[in-house]
A and B are shown apart, each in its own frame.
Chain A
């Protein structure tokens, strides 16, 4: 396994300056503390469930992690919170899950994360976990938590994610999930993987791929007993489809697939 620092250096040199994040990276390399753009816990108390945690069967829980700045708070917050809320509307309508209606972001190093066995993280190409987050996520997964990864593209971002998840789950293989895997059968029968593009390309009818992420992939990490812990949606952006599903110009094909996939993942997470 390559060291995390070397990964970040490559990442900074090749990928991020083009995205306007060069200054952040420079700062990060000089002082990793500066780029730990995880919001304070208090900042998110306001959006955490107002009612008592645990009274509902399901909370769409988004991982707040340290990463390079993208979005308002950081890369973890892309599409936040609209995608979460819109997905929950769909989830509640399509299934009978007693799901909390609003978003539920939580830091990886927050012990409370263990009260939410479903976790969604995206833009993991920009993830740069602190040691506490690594431990927090590892223990979350080992205890029985289920992580869904979404919206990261191409080999550079893959490389970063692979490095970070390698820190969390050292020695665990990332394997491709076949099309007959139960995760594609829990609610909807999904027979093909649709590449869901970002909203701009989706509505404009442009290419569905980004960078060198031409083919969508569904991958997973299993624990030593063969239980699926992590599902990785690579080269696809379910979150954008949830976020813009109400837009009449957003193609139904993509939003349909994203919702179907999302529902299947949640049902799988709640039964396996």
Chain B
């Protein structure tokens, strides 16, 4: 449509709209401007006088005739004034033009008139005779770049392989801009599908181009919409999980052309299908979120492949599957459970997780004043002095459960330690309900209260109740999951959301002595409860992130009822499942003193993978002057050490870059020492493999390319409109230019308008019977 409009415009106005956009109107008549205006005024006056004496004497006729005649005369006068457009135009062969060509794999997709997108590149720039090449080379000195993950200067399109595993437009534009910084540049021409899959932001690159007045002419290749395609475009998984954990993974499936059909998503680990889930495909262009459950049964770094079998007529099939690397850790997560008084909750929590080899719940139970009973400690020294008194001692645990223990039991420093355990160390804390918990335990106003995800009742309210002689609060609550809780891996106690909802509905009531009705801003409620005959909604499980860690509140006192109650079948595993999931979640992603992380789990061979390590001491204070070394082991057994440098802008952060040249799994064990003292180590992995990233979101992204063109003063083209590109690039103010004068007096539109005005006047006279 726009090209049709442009053709019509060019026919009427002699030049394309771009020339008018770039040019400036000027009158090249030798007469002074005031003479022109005087002549115009005279013409109008004469016309009015002569028509004013017309025979008809009809006032309306006089106005119409005068207007038509004045208009025609004004147009003639406009032409006689020799109007022209002053357009800045490049001086031939005095300017450089950067030609950036997408060299990534997505250019091989056959959707450019059923031929690969790369064919257009060969057609346009394949030889000196190619139309586009010739037209541009006539005006500019051309400099070619091929780009995918990075940009490189090339001699011509014969150097392209269309095998790049990524597309990074920002890097390509930056490279070309820097490379051409010292020469006059008319602009950059980018031939790409626009399927950028880098994390880099374009904004900085576009600002820099703007600052250097370098317009970008973007040529979009490929279709904006596939007619038939299914794509798994997002897989959300944790990077590490505990062995035996149940994983709940959300996939986003997008499709066109298969609306309403049912396909199966499979999860494979090695050659084994470990889960499958049917999904009914949504409307065209919409996404469906598919939730897949499976268990992490084998320890170590595991590659999980999520896929949908290719469907008949699919445009691209390589985007039907995605792989993710998940490290399944076979370690015992140590959790300290401090209970301020003997309660059955301790017995049943221990019982629930006793079969879980990856959880070690070390219990410290205060049985009388200053008398403690320790369970599941590693040695005689552990917790021998009661609740930890130093950060080193407390921070050894990854999770902390606080039972019914009053705030005044702790010293102020211990309360601060608990707060730092979550905020600084990144541990998980779970506050259980009880007569000495929450507000009833006097936590309001302590550092620990800040960690709690719930709003505590004020001491005045509690005191007021006591003062009125009221019984302490007690309510038996029917618990139900919130919408968030129904889907949450910790509280989804059934295989499906529906089954989970049914199981929650069947569970008997549990009791609470802590009236809590509100969560803090930013906290989420997973479970809520109601007492019989009451409309008050009690918080039963709430969660918030606090600093680097997480805090959970479970203000009920007898979750063991869900195990013991006569209404619960003996073989029911709800209580066990809930506590296992809850405690695994509590300690999920809790950092070690040294944490290493590869920027991406999967990378193309030869592609550098940034590696960062966070180094802290045993009290989780950042260490800047450590000796940090990454021991890299490749798939063929090759090993080498890589020193990591402190990133000056971040305390305790060290950086390096690892490249996996051969395909396979790379293990990176990062060790940190300070003055000879071992601080810790952590192992991370990445898999070097030919990525299929290029086939995802691979439709031509015209919006992105238009943005690049618009923000830099360039234009966007498709293969059909690119014909005008050489001329358009010529009208640039960048580089070495001259001002070209283009006459407008002979625009067909002027002649047509004059004729139309005269013809109208004549027709009107006929109509009025004046001829």
Contacts and interface: CB of A to CB of B under 8 A. Distances in A.
B366 interface: yes
Contacts of B354: 225
A145 interface: yes
Interface residues of A, number: 31
B559 interface: no
A249 B363 CA distance: 41
Contact of B341 (A96, A186, A225): A96
B311 interface: no
Interface in B304-344: 340-344
Interface stretch (A76-84, A109-117, A193-201, A230-238): A109-117
A187 B558 contact: no
A57 B561 CA distance: 12
A52 B341 contact: no
Contacts of B342: 57-58, 95-97, 266-267, 270-271
B566 A96 contact: no
A269 B355 CA distance: 19
Given A55-B474, A271-B373, A272-B350, A144 B563 contact: yes
Interface string B559-571: 0110111111010
Contact of A139 (B373, B474, B557, B570): B570
Interface in A99-146: 111-115, 117, 139, 142-145
Nearest to A56: B435
Contact of B347 (A94, A111, A272): A272
B69 to A, nearest CB: 102
B571 to A, nearest CB: 9
B570 A57 contact: no
Interface in A221-272: 225, 227, 266-267, 269-272
A57 B347 contact: no
A270 B476 contact: no
Contacts of A271: 342, 346-347, 350, 363, 365, 373, 375
A134 to B, nearest CB: 15
B511 A96 contact: no
Report whether over half of chain A's contact residues are helix, strand or loop; otherwise say mixed: loop
Given A52-B476, A55-B511, A117-B560, A269 B371 contact: no
A212 interface: no
Contacts of B567: 111
A242 to B, nearest CB: 18
Nearest to A99: B342
A186 B565 contact: no
Interface residues of B, number: 39
Given A55-B513, A143-B570, A227 B351 contact: yes
Nearest to B340: A96
A45 interface: no
Given A95-B342, A111-B566, A270-B343, A54 B369 contact: no
Interface string A197-229: 000000000000000000000000000010100
Contacts of B476: 52, 54
A55 B561 CA distance: 13
B570 A142 contact: yes
- In this complex, the member of A114, A115, A142, A270 whose beta carbon has the largest number of chain B beta carbons within 10 angstroms is A270
B367 interface: yes
Interface string A43-67: 0000000001011011000000000
A118 to B, nearest CB: 8
Interface in A140-173: 142-145
A180 interface: no
B51 interface: no
Contact of A145 (B368, B513, B564, B568): B564
B563 A94 contact: no
Nearest to B571: A142
Interface in B565-590: 565-568, 570
A182 to B, nearest CB: 9
Contacts of B341: 57, 96-98
B689 to A, nearest CB: 44
A94 B368 contact: yes
B347 A96 contact: no
B654 interface: no
Interface string B263-306: 00000000000000000000000000000000000000000000
Nearest to A52: B474
B438 interface: no
B97 to A, nearest CB: 77
Contact of A114 (B435, B474, B564): B564
A115 B561 CA distance: 7
Contacts of B421: none
Contacts of A187: 367-368, 371, 373
B377 to A, nearest CB: 13
A271 B367 CA distance: 11
Contact of A117 (B340, B347, B513, B557): B347
25 contacts: A52-B511, A54-B476, A54-B511, A54-B558, A55-B513, A57-B557, A58-B342, A94-B368, A95-B342, A96-B342, A96-B366, A113-B566, A114-B565, A114-B566, A139-B566, A143-B564, A143-B568, A143-B570, A186-B373, A227-B351, A270-B347, A271-B346, A271-B347, A271-B363, A271-B375
Given A187-B368, A267-B342, A270-B347, 15 more contacts: A54-B476, A57-B557, A58-B342, A95-B368, A96-B342, A117-B344, A117-B564, A139-B566, A187-B373, A227-B351, A267-B367, A270-B342, A270-B344, A271-B342, A272-B350
Interface of B: 340-344, 346-348, 350-351, 354-355, 363, 365-369, 371, 373, 375, 404, 435, 472, 474, 476, 511, 513, 557-558, 560-561, 563-568, 570
